[in-house]
């Protein structure tokens, strides 16, 4: 299985390495070709879309190019959650792989993807890493989220894969001073070409390394992802490790959406994998203006994502990049702001911890974590009827394991969460200075 998967990824990666330099018209022609196939299958085999097309008096021929997409409504996470069964393509059920996300917006979601989409997603991910100077024989350290119970089964194969791929995994959910001192020693010994992490965790680690004057960590490049990377964080990381930082933007639903290239002039969008729109009040934004990111994934026929509102915001960019790639661009990803939770005993938990944990539990519609005081954490969970005692016990078990015993955890179950009007959802907030 590992070998056949690797071959499929290699194939998509080879394709993407060429298509990134195609003339712009060819990329758009390719997108429209994939879109028409997706629309046709959605209409013919996906009950949710079939009903929607009929209701809107649309036929597949009405959506021939991405300029026609505006005829379809935006799909929210709520639409998905409520219609999951009707969203599966009847003709492709055997190719459906279950997946889930804790969301970048505090809304966990279960869904299905197609094996082929997974290969395209990984091909694009490796291409993004290549832009950041990663080569397949390189040694890479991932300061990343550890697996919880449900993922433990995958652990053995992951371990083998990582040793084959020359990867060292460090747990970004354990970042006390002792943990980071240990990580620094391991990294110095492992001599990676590339370090990769959540933006916030890499910044915290860089600060620790610099404050303690630790020498000997000299990667060629650093890859960050999953949360906003601020300029001050980028500068601190680059100054500490003496190399450039390349930021990527992806999600579990669609994998890599955009990545910075070696020219660092913005993010290249994986146009071959998805059509990305930036909307404000339902209309495309002007260049330089931030809008809601709307994704139409071109390779997931099993459970089509047509105009899916992912919950993030971004700013499109019209200027071309100096690298000569013809992929469309965005200048920034806005609104993925998650605070670190720091406990009285000095444990530091990145905001990414929570979606990682919460995705394993059914019956959570939305959640928000607020650290009111150094020793008090409030968790709001909007639950559905699926949520059980076992679920809360599961969450509390891991919250305790990672947060320690010196912090009060107060779980509340409101009917809804009052998010701020700005549209930027911060699901992890620390009010502790
Ligand atoms: Zn470029």
The three-point CA angle 247-180-409 to 5° equals 90
Per-residue model confidence (pLDDT) at position 428: 87
Among residues 273, 300, 333, which one ends one of the domains? 333
Q: How far does residue 196's CA lie from ligand 1's centre (Å)?
A: 20
In which band, very low, low, confident or very high, does the pLDDT at 103 lie, cut at 50, 70 and 90?
Answer: low
Q: How far does residue 188's CA lie from ligand 1's centre (Å)?
A: 31
| 312 and 350 part of one domain | no
| 296 and 347 part of one domain | no
Residue 200, domain CATH: 3.40.50.12780
Query: Kind and range of the H or E element at 222?
Result: strand 221-225
Per-residue model confidence (pLDDT) at position 108: 79
| 116 and 222 part of one domain | yes
- pLDDT of 371 higher than 60: yes
Per-residue model confidence (pLDDT) at position 242: 97
Q: How far does residue 324's CA lie from ligand 1's centre (Å)?
A: 6
Q: pLDDT tens digits, residue range 174-195?
A: 889 999 999 999 999 999 999 9
| 329 and 346 part of one domain | no
| 323 and 381 part of one domain | no
Q: How far does residue 322's CA lie from ligand 1's centre (Å)?
A: 6
Per mean pLDDT, which of 120-129, 157-166, 252-261 is the most reliable? 120-129
Q: How far does residue 320's CA lie from ligand 1's centre (Å)?
A: 8
| 214 and 287 part of one domain | yes
Q: How far does residue 201's CA lie from ligand 1's centre (Å)?
A: 26
Residue 347, domain CATH: 3.30.300.30
| 254 and 387 part of one domain | no
Q: How far does residue 11's CA lie from ligand 1's centre (Å)?
A: 22
Q: How far does residue 325's CA lie from ligand 1's centre (Å)?
A: 6
DSSP state letter for 303:
S
Which of 178, 170, 115 has its CA nearest to residue 141? Answer: 170
| 415 and 290 part of one domain | no
Q: How far does residue 268's CA lie from ligand 1's centre (Å)?
A: 7
Q: pLDDT tens digits, residue range 386-409?
A: 999 999 999 999 999 999 999 999
Which of 229, 328, 323, 336 has its CA nearest to residue 269? Answer: 328
Q: pLDDT tens digits, residue range 106-149?
A: 777 888 888 888 899 999 999 999 999 999 889 999 998 876 65
DSSP state letter for 14:
H
Q: How far does residue 401's CA lie from ligand 1's centre (Å)?
A: 42
CB proximity list for 422: less than 8 A, separation 6 or greater: none
Among residues 333, 349, 366, which one ends one of the domains? 333
Per mean pLDDT, which of 3-12, 269-278, 308-317 is the most reliable? 269-278
Q: How far does residue 326's CA lie from ligand 1's centre (Å)?
A: 9
Per-residue model confidence (pLDDT) at position 420: 72
Residue 246, domain extent: 1-333
- pLDDT of 154 higher than 60: no
Per-residue model confidence (pLDDT) at position 1: 45
| 181 and 33 part of one domain | yes
Average pLDDT, the chain: 90
Q: How far does residue 328's CA lie from ligand 1's centre (Å)?
A: 10
Which residue shows structure tokens 């930027």? 424
User: What tokens appear for 9 in the block?
Assistant: 């990824």
Q: Looking at residues 74-90, what average pLDDT do you find?
A: 91
Which residue shows structure tokens 């990294």? 187
Q: How far does residue 295's CA lie from ligand 1's centre (Å)?
A: 21
- pLDDT of 423 higher than 60: no
- pLDDT of 425 higher than 90: no
Q: How far does residue 317's CA lie from ligand 1's centre (Å)?
A: 12
Which of 260, 298, 310 has its CA nearest to residue 15? Answer: 298
Per-residue model confidence (pLDDT) at position 150: 46
Q: pLDDT tens digits, residue range 273-282?
A: 999 999 998 9
Q: How far does residue 256's CA lie from ligand 1's centre (Å)?
A: 16
Q: Looking at residues 358-365, what average pLDDT do you find?
A: 85
Q: How far does residue 281's CA lie from ligand 1's centre (Å)?
A: 30
User: What tokens appear for 235 in the block?
Assistant: 């500068």
Q: Looking at residues 223-239, what average pLDDT do you find?
A: 90
Share of the chain above pLDDT 70, in %: 93
| 352 and 244 part of one domain | no
Which of 192, 146, 145 has its CA nearest to residue 166? Answer: 192
Per-residue model confidence (pLDDT) at position 315: 94
Q: How far does residue 266's CA lie from ligand 1's centre (Å)?
A: 7
Q: How far does residue 329's CA lie from ligand 1's centre (Å)?
A: 9
Q: How far does residue 291's CA lie from ligand 1's centre (Å)?
A: 22
Q: How far does residue 336's CA lie from ligand 1's centre (Å)?
A: 23
Q: How far does residue 248's CA lie from ligand 1's centre (Å)?
A: 13
Least confident range from 64-78, 107-121, 287-301: namely: 107-121
Among residues 302, 317, 333, which one ends one of the domains? 333
Query: Kind and range of the H or E element at 177?
Result: helix 177-190
| 238 and 135 part of one domain | yes
Structurally, how many domains does the chain consist of?
A: 2
| 91 and 211 part of one domain | yes
Q: How far does residue 267's CA lie from ligand 1's centre (Å)?
A: 8
Per-residue model confidence (pLDDT) at position 411: 96
Share of the chain above pLDDT 90, in %: 61
User: What is the reported pTM?
Assistant: 0.86
Residues near ligand 1 ion, CB 5 Å cutoff: 261, 263, 321, 323
CA 133 to mean position of chain CA atoms: 21
């Amino acid at each position: 299985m590992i070998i056949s998967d690797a071959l499929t990824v290699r194939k998509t990666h080879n394709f993407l390495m060429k298509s990134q330099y195609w003339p712009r018209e060819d990329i758009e022609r390719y997108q429209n070709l994939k879109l028409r196939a997706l629309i046709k299958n959605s209409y013919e085999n996906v009950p949710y879309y079939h009903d929607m097309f009929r209701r809107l008096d649309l036929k597949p021929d009405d959506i021939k190019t991405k300029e026609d997409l505006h005829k379809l409504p935006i799909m929210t996470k709520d639409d998905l959650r409520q219609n999951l069964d009707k969203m599966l393509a009847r003709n492709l059920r055997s190719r459906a792989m279950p997946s889930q996300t804790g969301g970048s917006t505090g809304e966990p979601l279960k869904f299905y993807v197609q094996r082929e989409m997974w290969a395209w997603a990984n091909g694009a991910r490796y291409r993004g890493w290549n832009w950041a100077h990663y080569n397949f024989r390189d040694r890479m350290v991932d300061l990343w989220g550890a697996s919880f119970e449900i993922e433990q089964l995958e652990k053995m194969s992951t371990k083998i894969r990582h040793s084959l791929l020359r990867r060292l995994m460090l747990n970004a959910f354990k970042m006390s001073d002792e943990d980071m001192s240990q990580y620094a020693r391991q990294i110095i010994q492992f001599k990676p070409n590339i370090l990769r992490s959540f933006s916030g965790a890499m910044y915290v680690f860089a600060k620790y390394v610099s404050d303690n004057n630790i020498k000997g960590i000299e990667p060629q490049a650093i890859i960050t992802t999953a949360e906003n990377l601020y300029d001050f964080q980028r500068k601190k990381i680059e100054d500490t490790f003496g190399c450039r930082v390349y930021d990527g933007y992806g999600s579990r639903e669609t994998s890599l959406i955009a990545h910075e290239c070696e020219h660092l002039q913005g993010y290249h969008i994986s146009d071959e994998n998805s059509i990305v729109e930036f909307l404000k009040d339902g209309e495309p934004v002007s260049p330089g203006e931030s809008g809601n990111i709307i994704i139409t994934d071109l390779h997931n026929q099993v459970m089509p994502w047509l105009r899916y509102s992912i919950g993030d915001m971004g700013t499109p960019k019209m200027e071309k990049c100096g690298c000569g790639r013809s992929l469309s661009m965005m200048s920034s990803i806005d609104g993925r702001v998650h605070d670190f939770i720091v406990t009285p005993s000095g444990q530091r938990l990145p905001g990414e911890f929570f979606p990682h944990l919460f995705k394993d539990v059914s019956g959570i519609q939305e959640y928000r974590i607020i650290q009111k005081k150094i020793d008090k954490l409030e968790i709001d969970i909007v639950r559905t009827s699926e949520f059980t005692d076992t679920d809360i016990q599961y969450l509390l078990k891991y919250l305790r394991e990672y947060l320690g015993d010196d912090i009060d955890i107060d779980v509340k179950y409101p009917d809804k969460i009052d998010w701020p009007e700005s549209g930027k959802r911060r699901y992890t907030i620390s009010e502790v200075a």
